Amino acid sequence: MQQRLEVKRSNPAVKGKLLSTLMTYLPGAWINPRNEELITLYRLRYKMAVEEQKFDTALIFLNKILEVDPMNLEARLHKGELYHRCLNDYDRAIEQYNKVIRLSSDRQAGQIHIRARAGMSEIMEMLS
């Protein structure tokens, strides 16, 4: 015959005290960040990864920005520039530059649109 283990139920008062203690010592652990805060964090991590020349990690954080905000033209442009200048993957760079150009107009996102066109023409010139 198997022995049965006695299961102790937690006391609700103790459980509440534990949660309040955790929230006192780990105040930020229970907050769901807003999308803008996430994008700011991911952008910072992207810049750190580029400075350390960890381009694959930088791409991961750019992808995370695009998960939160799929219309973020700046992240798409940086992704194209990473493929273009750092990874020499021109097909993917052209794809990202095209997306930026299609999603923006000259007036809407001026500098981003111009940079995407400049990157695209640089690749085309290099490949011809």
Q: Is residue 26 part of a domain?
A: no
Q: What is the CATH number of the domain that holds 70?
A: 1.25.40.10
| Amino acid occupying residue 13 | A
Residue-range definition of the domain harbouring residue 112:
34-127
End-to-end CA distance of the chain: 82
Q: Is residue 115 part of a domain?
A: yes
Contact between 120 and 98 under an 8 Å Cβ cutoff? The reply is yes
Q: Is residue 3 part of a domain?
A: no
Alpha-helical regions (H) of the chain:
12-25, 35-51, 55-68, 73-81, 90-103, 110-127
Give, for all 128 residues of the chain, the pLDDT tens digit. 566 666 555 555 555 676 677 667 776 666 677 889 999 999 999 999 999 999 999 999 999 999 999 999 999 999 999 999 999 999 999 999 999 999 887 666 688 999 999 999 999 999 88
Q: How far is CA 92 from CA 25, 46, 56, 80, 87, in A?
A: 45, 18, 14, 7, 10
Q: Is residue 111 part of a domain?
A: yes
Tell whether pTM > 0.95: no
